[in-house]
Chain A
Amino acid sequence: MADKLLKPKELIDRIGYQPPQTDWMDTPIDIRKGMYCYASNPKSVANLGFPNARPWNPTEPDWKLPENWQQIIHDGFKERLERFRSFKVFMDICVRCGACADKCHYFIGTGDPKNMPVLRAELLRSVYRNDFTRMGKLLGKANGARPLTLDVLKEWWYYLFQCSECRRCSLFCPYGIDTAEITMMGRELLNLVGLNIDWIATPVSNCYMNGNHLGIQPHAFKDMLDFFVDDIEERTGVRVKPEYMKKGADILFITPSGDVFADPGTYTAMGYLMLFHYLKEKYGLEVTWSTYASEGGNFGFFTSHETMKRLNAKMYAEAKRLGVKWILGGECGHMWRVINQYMDTMNGPADFLDVPVNPITGTRFEQARSTKMVHIVEFTADLIRNRKLDLTPARNDYLKVTYHDSCNPSRGMGFFDEPRYVIQNVCNHFYDMPASTIREQTFCCGSGAGLNAGENMELRMSGGMPRANAVKHVRDAHGVNMLACICAIDRAALPALMDYWLPGVQVAGTHELVANALNLPGQNDRATNLRGDDLEELKAQAEGETDE
């Protein structure tokens, strides 16, 4: 897009139909509006005690870096190579076979070669060779080495925040190089000189100060849940009673705060409330919420290992304080990568908690033996499998549902069948997208790893395009009108993606669908869904569309 009004002569001179044909190292960085997120608010950076808190603007030449920034990055790089064996191996072993090159949704969607995972990693590797390998020092550019200049640093910032750490590329790497871990290291290094984005730094600061990314204070958190209680009563005739910080409850429930504040996640939160009410009425299970540990997500994960550890710690601190048996986690994506891959060596093992057992079914969740945290979809799948829920899937008959595997639960914990099992038990019409776009090969929503801001909408729409393209396939073939997911970022990001690519396809958390099918003791005739839409009308509308 034209960023300023140009004179006719300037306009004609600048028109070129083709991009530069230069080698990637010689192609200068062009920071485009819509592709980057705003720089972090200095107050948030200061709150967290991170270095170089100051206002700065990526489109200005001066990024207000500390004078010795090159030394800081060099030292940080060295320290991480020594600390993380995986990082050192990933820097050394790539043979540039190209298997990953066309697997990234950002490359496929933006068409920018620097979004090929191999090139994104090369941004760091070129500096690694220059600073830390003999061949790189001797041969320089001929060996793919280059010094860390200001332009190179800017390129790091621009492209490391065009990676959603989804790990689709690593699935295809014959060496198993985890490019997401390279991005994570790169972001850590950028943070050392105060280069972050506000969509990450401010949620991290909020979470650190108030317990959740949105900065919702305890009373407001409770207020929001109270609104849901009213809405549930209006729609089902049943008044549910959530527990807060109840000492000695069976289970502590922690979900992303997005579910509490942002539609359509709010309907998923209503779904949790209804499920817990049902389980309490029927089986006496006590689940408690916490306004302190009120964030399941962990944007620290997109910042640095230390920050991730800091934010993760409160879940366990709260579980210990309340004396619950184990922790149930809500529908979240990256939360599960933190729990499954990092928690145990960061803040674990959580010896003071029990190995999670579902007291209603007796199922022992062996996979959570060490972390003591169970995903709510695993929990619900177990309840359904043991016929513990009273369900009327026909209430969802106006829906034709497909399921978006969130990157982190699918590739980070091998979580494929439980969500499908739950959806197929609460909805009668389910259609999977093509095999190369789901399960471990799932395409990212285009907004993960802290990139679901508004200002980078072009990046989100182009990066989400491969996902939307697969949804289009099932919409055209089967009339799919609902995209279900188990991640709060998906619930925030996918509605805009659908509006742009496939207007009319809605987005829902899986527990919204569960709750619409769930029969509560003493309920009314359930004439509407949780969104307050009349079921008869929706059904007539859906039948009309099928007739066409």
Chain B
Amino acid sequence: MAEALVSLIHKKRSAIIAKWFDSTVHAYAPDTAAFLKSQQDQFANPVGSSTRKGIETLLDQLMGDMNGEAIAASLDPIMRIRAVQSLSPAQATAFIFALKQVLRDMFDKQLQDPGMARQFFEFAARIDRVCLAAFEIYVGCREQVFELKANEMRNRTFRAFKRAGLVAEPAGEEPQD
């Protein structure tokens, strides 16, 4: 893997996270972004706090062994909230790609070197994979929202009908295996 680039990123980890977090919260209106950045309490600002925590682990995974479970676990809280906010799918997932820009800006000089540029392409391919994972989670959450809508409707009516004896169960015995 791109060892030289990873060690560069490692050295600048907190600066990169700060910049990445900045561009992540800019999916929101300026006032909201300011709040998400400034309020540190995890209960007063659950969106900001879980987003910050999530991207920290994501960066570590991108630099490390790309563990699928760890990536999904850090993406889930971010995508779960974005899936129910008024963001388009593109707006909800764009923050992953923003990391490429953050790295390009930060290591502009180093990336002039062809060897380093090659490493960057490798790293960028990892970012793409994370983005696809994010999109899967986003769509999963959307499906869950639709299921919740459908189930609430069904439970409200079907259960009442059943209690009132208006639903006929299929006759006969359950099939044996």
Interface residues of A (CB under 8 A from B): 1-2, 14-21, 27, 30, 32, 34-35, 101-102, 107-113, 116, 220, 223-224, 227, 261-263, 434, 436-437, 454-455, 457-459, 461-462, 465-466, 469-470, 473, 496, 499-501
- Are B86 and A454 in contact, CB atoms less than 8 angstroms apart? no
- Contacts A19-B27, A454-B149, A458-B85 hold; do A500 and B90 have CB atoms under 8 A apart? no
Total CB contacts across the A-B interface at under 8 A:
120
Known: A17-B90, A102-B39, A454-B153. Is A465-B46 also a contact (CB below 8 A)? Answer: yes
30 example contacts (A-B, Cβ-Cβ < 8 A) are as follows A1-B89, A2-B88, A2-B89, A16-B91, A17-B94, A19-B27, A19-B28, A30-B86, A34-B145, A108-B44, A109-B85, A111-B32, A112-B29, A112-B85, A220-B164, A262-B155, A263-B159, A436-B43, A437-B43, A457-B152, A458-B85, A462-B81, A465-B84, A466-B43, A496-B148, A499-B144, A499-B148, A500-B141, A500-B145, A500-B148
Whether B11 sits at the interface, judged by CB under 8 Å, is no
Contact with A along B32-66 (1 / 0, CB 8 A): 10011001011111110010000000000000000
B138-177 near A? 1/0 per residue, CB < 8 Å: 0001101100110111011001100110000000000000
The B contact surface, by secondary structure, is helix
Say yes or no: A434-B81 contact (C-beta < 8 A), given A2-B89, A224-B163, A263-B155.
no
B80 located at the interface, meaning its Cβ lies under 8 Å from any Cβ of chain A in the complex: yes
B26 in the interface (beta carbon within 8 A) = yes
From B86, B98, B149, give the contact of A455 (CB < 8 A): B149
**A17 and B91 in contact (CB under 8 A), knowing A111-B29, A112-B32, A436-B43?**
yes
Whether B113 sits at the interface, judged by CB under 8 Å, is no
Shortest B7–chain A CB gap in Å is: 30
Q: Which residues of A contact B155 (CB under 8 A)?
A: 262-263
Chain B min CB distance to A256 (Å): 15
Beta-carbon nearest neighbor of B144 in chain A:
A500
Q: Does B30 contact A (CB under 8 A)?
A: yes
A91–chain B nearest beta-carbon distance, Å: 22
In the complex, which of the residues A16, A109, A113 contacts B29, with contact meaning CB atoms closer than 8 Å? A113
The yes or no answer to B3 lying at the interface (CB within 8 A) is no
| Interface size in chain B (residues, C-beta < 8 A) | 44
Do A108 and B164 touch across chains, with their CB atoms under 8 A apart? no
Cβ–Cβ < 8 Å partners of A109 in chain B = 47, 81, 84-85
Any A CB within 8 A of the CB of B31: yes
Whether the pair B39, A35 counts as a contact (CB closer than 8 A) is no
Chain B positions within 8 Å of A17 at CB level: 26-27, 90-91, 94, 98
User: Which of B81, B84, B155 lies at the interface centre, i.e. has the most chain A CB atoms within 10 A of its CB?
Assistant: B84
Using A108-B46, A111-B32, A465-B47 as known contacts, say yes or no to A35 and B86 having CB atoms under 8 A apart. yes
- Say yes or no: B36 contacts A111, CB within 8 Å: yes
Across the interface, name the chain A residue whose C-beta is closest to B26.
A18
B159 to chain A: which residues have CB within 8 Å? 263
Shortest beta-carbon distance from B21 to chain A in Å: 15
Closest B residue to A455 by beta carbon equals B149
What are the residues of chain A within 8 A of B90 when measuring CB–CB?
A: 15, 17
Interface-central residue, B42, B43, B81, B98, by most chain A CB under 10 Å: B43
Q: State whether A458 and B36 are in contact (beta carbons under 8 Å apart), knowing that A21-B30, A220-B164 are contacts in the complex.
A: no
CA distance A435 to B110 in the complex (A): 49
- Least CB separation from B49: chain A residue: A469
Contacts of A110 in B (CB 8 A): 85-86
Nearest-neighbor residue (CB-CB) of A435 within chain B: B43
- Output the least CB separation between B166 and chain A (Å): 11
